[in-house]
Chains A and B, each alone.
Chain A
């Protein structure tokens, strides 16, 4: 119904536009000479359309927001008090559906009770009145706006300025969405995390070494809620990932920037960037199907017991995923180092590798550090690879060949379908998310500061 109303409003706005257009053109004088007008005729039409449509739309939204509350109030008045007491929450929605079925003549499978029939009749009348009133109010607002704007049209009216001011407000509001998102993230996680800290002491949470949350319905937190094994698991996997990604990525970037022929570079760079575009679930399945068994087999050859799902498996595959982050960013940064520095070093007799090691890399170092930190923050926030390939063992140990658990895996495991976030084992996910958010935010800010502060300004 609302969609129909909005559709009719849009048609009204189109009519308003044409009316305003015609009116302004007629005011312009004989023929199509519209040089007397301040703005082009289209703007007068748009102004009238906006005055017609926007107040009416706002009224419609407000009405739709308040109508269910009023309807519920009215229908509850007609019911006997004992029935009213028994209806709450979702039962009210089901009851309303049943009343609507009785009222519309669709019928229900069993025989409706007397008070239900009466309530259905009153519901029907209330809904009808509400619909008519809504239509009346909306159309009245639209017509009032239309008439008001039409009367204001004159050659001196600065229609274009008003319309452009409106558009500017809309543009600014859409930038507010970005702030709203961050605000939403911070507020939601903070409030749920604060909820959680009512159950568990923050010190125990941040410095405890025992992660074994119990399932509790009573509202008391049972089991251990210590974060350190998860943080350590995250760190271990990130270290392994960076150990693979940094050498390979950096050397690949250096080769592509300094040594490679343009043809080779044109092929190699996109191929490496494919690694960045593959979804992480694919990496996870690859890790558990191919890399895990392979590592287990290799370990058995040497005599080591490497678990198929372990920190090594997850770290290895995560390193592969991160290679393009480091190689692409470092490649761009190394290219930006000016030729003069390189030529000077080569002119003094250094070989190309000595130039790179002693001149180019130090000049590019802040940017490379920034890329490194961004890659670390990506590794810390990664979920699907670790969910599938790292096992699920939140124990504090230093063995990369055994299963570990990370912060992200635990978040996924704890929110397993709890509808109401009232129990500590569901709320802990938000506390973990808050920790993760703060860590990655800190890393990004540090990366930004390093790049800004130490970047050499070349001419």
Chain B
């Protein structure tokens, strides 16, 4: 009905028309304002939801943008000749029949000490020189200046400035020698610290390598990688650069020749953390630590949590003690995680004397954190099962416990699993309690048991975030976050898939 027809109707009726008409006019006038207010409100709601989703997108985009480049790093795949002339060591000791284990240990250690004395740097250099003849042709002959060097050491007076000024040929030779030395140091600084130790470890594991040629991928030093990947401003003056001009120029030259390439960053996944060789630091130690902790959390929370939930839901009498337990569990679910860290520090480390920074202590603290979540999720899934199932079992003569364990619990397992996985995913990302039980320390080895000191993925992110080599470690931190988020997303997807697959609508 149009407005005019309503008006004409009321005019026809003619009862109190002026008051009704004014009322209607007022309402009509405000209608436009009210409709626009409604539209604005609706748009505001949509904007809020969009803003929330935008935050998620920005977070993921910035992490991916900063982290993905760290998965490729500058490396040098070179052919390494294990020159027997350089590696002059006796054969590896073999255990004799009448030798005590301690004596054999000391003999092996002595052999390893001799192995450490070998000039691995020159093997590194030779492999680099062979790969790129244009770069340092004058270094090919390593023994060229040995005699001259010995003379300088034995008789320094013969090489004083006046004598050199008098004898230009000798001066030229000395300068050439010093230039070769500088070139050698420059070339070596392109390799990350510890790459020579890698060669030593290869020979220690397999002494038959001596005399053979192997292809080895060496990793460039962190600052070299920063320079080559453009993370530092190339126009900065020399005193603000991290590398000397010679090293920078050599790095560019080798990159142009193809000796230095971008390779997939496998040390990131296979190596433990390292402070002396940042380019080969990795997540392996943190990963294993987190794995141990997750195992301990599973082993502890599933039996205790499910048992507690079954008791509270099925068997507990309705009295004050049960109320107390329920209130306790709900409170524990809302306690900040750092308090659990304090509990771990005071009781597990202080009173029980468990080893500091061990995955055992971390796992126990995280289990206490996850326990309320598992209990609440299990109770919810037990409650969702209709009473008819329990009553049918009881009606057929089962006891209460038989009905619970044989009928109710198997039906509740999907819900329990979902709750456990969600709780586990939450515990995976916790950092604060682990910092308080000592995982702030730097751990350079992969732990072999849950009792050895270790670190965890989120703590590793925290430690790398504080590293002073900012332009190298910023990308690495973001890459570690990508790994952490990938793990979490896969756990959550597993939980959602389980829930969808086994969900039963009663």
Contacts and interface: CB of A to CB of B under 8 A. Distances in A.
Nearest to B466: A388
A174 B375 CA distance: 11
Q: Is the interface of B mostly helix, strand, loop or mixed?
A: helix
A177 B371 contact: yes
A167 B401 contact: yes
Interface in A162-208: 164, 167-168, 170-172, 174-175, 177-179, 181-182, 184-185, 188-189, 192
A181 B63 contact: no
Nearest to B334: A444
Contacts of A251: 44-45, 47-49
Contact of B346 (A188, A274, A381, A388): A188
Nearest to A286: B59
Interface string A377-392: 1101111100110000
A437 interface: yes
Contact of B52 (A275, A429, A437): A275
Contact of B325 (A178, A252, A354, A430): A178
Interface stretch (A19-27, A55-63, A117-125, A410-418): A410-418
B347 interface: yes
A411 B334 contact: no
Interface in B449-492: 458, 461-462, 465, 474, 477-478, 481, 484-485, 488, 492
B438 interface: yes
Contacts of A281: 429, 431, 458, 461-462, 481
Contacts of B49: 251-252, 255-256, 260, 268, 272
B499 interface: no
Contacts of A384: 431-432, 462
A327 interface: yes
A285 B478 contact: yes
Contact of B488 (A272, A277, A284, A356): A277
A69 interface: no
B260 to A, nearest CB: 28
A4 interface: no
Nearest to B27: A349
A419 B42 contact: no
A362 interface: no
Interface stretch (A80-88, A103-111, A301-309, A393-401): A103-111
Interface in B33-79: 34-35, 37-38, 41-42, 44-49, 51-53, 55-56, 58-59, 62-63, 66
B324 interface: yes
Given A278-B429, A289-B474, A353-B37, A170 B307 contact: yes
B100 A252 contact: no
A154 interface: no
B304 interface: yes
A351 B399 CA distance: 58
Contacts of A378: 334, 336
A419 B59 CA distance: 38
Interface in A338-354: 351-354
A178 B425 contact: no
A442 to B, nearest CB: 11
B143 interface: no
Contacts of A377: 334
Contacts of B462: 281, 284, 384, 388
5 contacts: A189-B346, A252-B48, A280-B431, A290-B62, A380-B336
B494 interface: no
A377 B331 CA distance: 12
B122 to A, nearest CB: 34
From A108, A382, A387, A415, name the one whose CB has the most chain B CB atoms within 10 angstroms: A415
Contacts of B343: 181, 184-185, 188-189
B338 A408 contact: yes
B108 to A, nearest CB: 13
Contact of B429 (A168, A268, A280, A388): A280
B430 interface: yes
A277 B58 CA distance: 16
Interface in A94-117: 101, 105-109
Interface of B: 34-35, 37-38, 41-42, 44-49, 51-53, 55-56, 58-59, 62-63, 66, 100-103, 106, 303-304, 307-308, 310-312, 315-316, 324-325, 328-332, 334-340, 342-343, 345-347, 350-351, 356, 368, 371-372, 375, 399-401, 425-426, 428-432, 435-436, 438, 440-441, 458, 461-462, 465, 474, 477-478, 481, 484-485, 488, 492
A421 B34 contact: no
B38 to A, nearest CB: 4
B338 A436 contact: yes
A296 to B, nearest CB: 16
Contact of B103 (A107, A168, A417): A107
For the complex of A and B, 6 pairs with smallest distance between CB atoms: A381-B336, A279-B429, A255-B45, A251-B48, A107-B102, A353-B41
Given A164-B401, A419-B356, A351 B48 contact: no
B98 to A, nearest CB: 12
Given A174-B303, A277-B492, A412-B338, 8 more contacts: A178-B332, A250-B48, A252-B49, A281-B429, A282-B484, A285-B481, A351-B35, A421-B350
Contact of A175 (B41, B106, B325): B325
A107 B308 contact: no
B338 A171 contact: no
Contact of A185 (B335, B372, B492): B335
A160 interface: yes
A178 B328 contact: yes
B35 A189 contact: no
B312 A175 contact: yes
Given A106-B101, A275-B56, A441-B331, A433 B338 contact: yes
Contacts of A271: 52-53, 56
B339 A433 contact: yes
A71 to B, nearest CB: 17
Contacts of A178: 308, 325, 328-329, 332, 371-372, 375
A411 B481 CA distance: 25
Given A182-B332, A279-B431, A289-B474, A354 B34 contact: yes
A68 to B, nearest CB: 12
A248 interface: yes
Contacts of A417: 438, 440-441
Contacts of B429: 278-282
A387 B462 CA distance: 10
